[in-house]
Structure 1
């Protein structure tokens, strides 16, 4: 989730005539601009295509909007539109020459039945030189939030894995935004339940594809995606390797150490001291005895959102059980290492993820 994860936070703007408000919102795997009428309350989408808009600037004098956006095969583009016409006019792709020299894979949309029979939206990214008659290792990527979404955006990490010969699967399971309030609220006070069902249903489907080697599957994710990585390998051993990043392992301690700890009682129906057993039941650390999957733990020492004590507790618990685990710590870096970290450390992180999966998924162990 190096540039593609969005939380729908584009600031609203009044239109020139004062009759509408512009705003950005997640919309089924995209991030678009919308108008809402002040009197009519009608909402209209004004951008198009499968894209993720990062930011925009609205000029009230000209009634024009300039915005930056990404799509699955290009990390950054700039376009302009006259709001009244609603037609995007492309200006520039700053990476055009670079992209011509690279092999970029285009993801395929993949929808499937998840928890409660609900349809879940996902994508499959295949290697650029994909061959139908060959079997490939699979890496499952899980987004953070949990109330965020993967978008139709460019992901360096996914492209690197695909370019190295992996099938990459990523999705927006229950709890994700962009699919309605009920879908997003499915995780409230229920972490790791419906989304685990979603992800494992998809893995079951993908493991039966002709091109998937079901004996060589890995799972990874960051933040809440790290929580889910820990949760999954505490409930199944079908993955040969895992990588948990800036993870959550103990909801009780995180409530008191995270800069977002004040939100936990709202998410879980009250503070931990009133429902200690429930907080512990939803903590991946409770299931650490069942974790047998080789695990790479990546965490930043300056992470205030999911403090490094979350990784330390998990690491020590696994070491005491003599499990296969490696702990990679980055000094100075924040929760946003993969997105805004020092460039050399971002590169180092990607190399270590690839090395870890290669060591388990590209051998005959």
Structure 2
């Protein structure tokens, strides 16, 4: 262990315990609010695979969850309007009916369909959006429906050649709208050639996207599908376009019996813009009508209930400036659509919606959504009169809320607890505001509790835990304690910088400050983005590190989100400045308090966290050893080789016009200052932060005789997806820290 041996020191958590973890996502409440569908992700060590499954559980927790799918990598559960059926996206072997009888036979499957061993895309992007068309022999994601009243196996509804990316139920439950790629004969021939190793040809400016590879010219259209007959009709003017379309999708949303909303970018240079406009199209076809006018990046869409002054609500950000908070908008739709007014309901809040947050109507005048608020993920009421109100504040004080849903008075949410993992919870909307966790508040511990306390999470039983996905892990291992800490940083206009830290369960800050216990080794983990933030949440790597004696500090540095636009813009176009000040100030603050040993300070970070590591090791000597992961260190040479040219131009300009700006933001230009041992990690197929960037940093350190090691995962994107690589990464990271820890009895040269 890295800390001094004590009788109370916890046993290190085995890195292979990653395979014991279960994650949860994709919540969907039934229309009556009585059942919750959700998706779990489990790890198969023997197959080195991730498996996603769909489950259903009563919202009152009266019965154990029921698994609907196993090995089909299912996702995106969606209830029919009457709640009798559940549709999912799944890459299974074809439905027996379709394989034998085409689309004419509507008899039930009789349970004969079997799940394929396809694990889908590692980073959550389905094959339907893959620029190379994916493997033609592998099953593609299709829409399948379960009849939860009659039972039996799932019934396949779509059979799209390139798979289905998104879908939505029609309001009567008889039709679906799906988004799917539809190649022409020439495009199909080209894709077949590429699969066989032929040349990649493109004239697209947005020529690649992380996780999807080299893009092609195949268009994604909307199709209206009859659920029973499986007949489909393409809506020829409802198609996707633009640089962000491969990432954002079309978000097809049925807003009435006859009208469908979707997203696209049809401006003059769609591949050179982050805008996504809101469009409407008749479900019978015809010309689509644009509602927004290129000034927004529209996201989630939610039709308003009968009686509302609004026709629909949507989330939208600024395509030119990611520091502008993503806001909730309402559109009344009363007049000629092209001239209708839409307005922000949250402009005065100065807080951003969380990434991928849903919008749900509580009544005709109020929505609920998730907002990033001072390093918390909080639910908010948002009124069509622009009033905003925190909802159930204490639920989010010591845990994060990565997903939620609302239907008919019931709220379902995923809570990610720093010591206990992830589970699904439910409560009533009326009860949510009354929940009171006595341990909440600044400086409160997010420590481990027994199973009974977890079941009645808020202490009064109003917040019900309806799953027990990870109960064995905290019972078998010493999981970390998570606390908040604030400190001053020179130049910050805020009074203090906030941070989250994870520590071993035997670490007591007051004892460390008084000298009654020894200081600990520190790991600084820097969040990516930088438009992001750290909130208390379950992170397996933090549990691993804390069990080995480390304190893990996660600074919410200037440039991140959840503190408003001005806070975020302090770093905009000025990389390598205020975030370095805030991170080093956090290290100094913990050293001054006696919590950590100044000679045993380590650090890692992914994406922008890796970029920030580059600045730290070229501008400071704050770290004993560092692990920059999947970062960019030379903005000039990265431009055009990654998938972020739109954002880079909006923030920094063009490298041939703004040479000094790009040089100032490139840590490689100061590589001569590096004397910190570096473990540099990269993904061979990372198009967000190309692996050549990591090679440059690695070679720059080695040229100067600085200890350095390069680890490259050949097929990985801007993540570490395969479980064996995730465990390999943690072994490499902990070994690197131990190798250069002066407290270790032995050290490799």
- Find the counterpart in structure 1 of residue 389 from structure 2: 44
Which residue in 1 is equivalent to 2:730? 350
Report if the CA contact (8 A) 1:12-1:21 is conserved: no
Structure 1: which 5+ runs fail to align? Answer: none
Q: Which of 28, 31, 37 does residue 377 from structure 2 map onto?
A: 31
3-state SS in 1 of match to 2:663: helix
SS in 1 for 2:650: helix
Q: SS at the partner of 1:29? A: coil
Q: Which residue of 2 aligns with 1:95?
A: 470
Q: Aligned partners of 2:719, 2:598: CA distance in 1, in Å?
A: 32
Q: Report 1 or 2 for greater relative contact order, CA contacts < 8 Å, sequence distance ≥ 6.
A: 1
- With over 3 angstroms needed to count, the CA separation of the structure-2 counterparts of 1:14 and 1:143, relative to structure 1, is closer
Q: CA distance change for structure 1 residues 299 and 107 in 2, over 3 Å: closer, same or farther? A: same
Match of 2:663 in 1: 280
Paired residues for 1:99-178 under 5 Å: 99-117=474-492, 118=494, 119-130=496-507, 132=512, 133-178=517-562
Question: Residues 21, 211 of structure 1: CA spacing in aligned structure 2 closer, same or farther, 3 A cutoff?
Answer: closer
Distance, in Å, in 2 between the alignment partners of 1:309 and 1:108 is 37
What TM-score, normalized by structure 1, do the two folds share? 0.91
Q: CA RMSD in A?
A: 2.0
How many matched pairs? 355
- Deviation, structure 1 residue 16: 4.6
Q: 1:243 offset after TM fit, Å?
A: 0.6
| Alignment TM-score, normalising by the size of structure 2 | 0.46
Aligned to 1:260: 644
1:322 counterpart SS class: coil
* Correspondence for 2:69: none
Q: What residue in structure 2 maps to residue 79 of structure 1?
A: 425
Question: What is the CA–CA distance in structure 1 between the aligned matches of 2:585 and 2:691, rounded to whole Å?
Answer: 31
Q: Which residue of 2 aligns with 1:298?
A: 681
Counterpart CA distance in 1 for 2:568 and 2:728 is: 34
Among 17, 28, 34, the residue aligned to 2:363: 17
Give the alignment of 1:153-232 within 5 angstroms.
153-232=537-616
Cα deviation, residue 167, structure 1: 1.8
Offset, 1:130 = 3.0
Task: Tell me, yes or no, if the aligned pair for 1:252 and 1:272 is still in contact at 8 Å.
Answer: yes
Q: What is the SS of the residue equivalent to 1:150? A: coil
Aligned counterparts of 2:710 and 2:353: Cα–Cα separation in 1: 29
What residue is the counterpart of 1:363 in the other structure? 744
- CA shift in 2, pair 1:28/1:71, >3 Å: farther
> Is the Cα contact below 8 Å between 1:233 and 1:293 reproduced in 2?
yes
Bigger Rg over Cα: 2
Task: Work out whether 1:323 is the aligned partner of 2:706.
Answer: yes
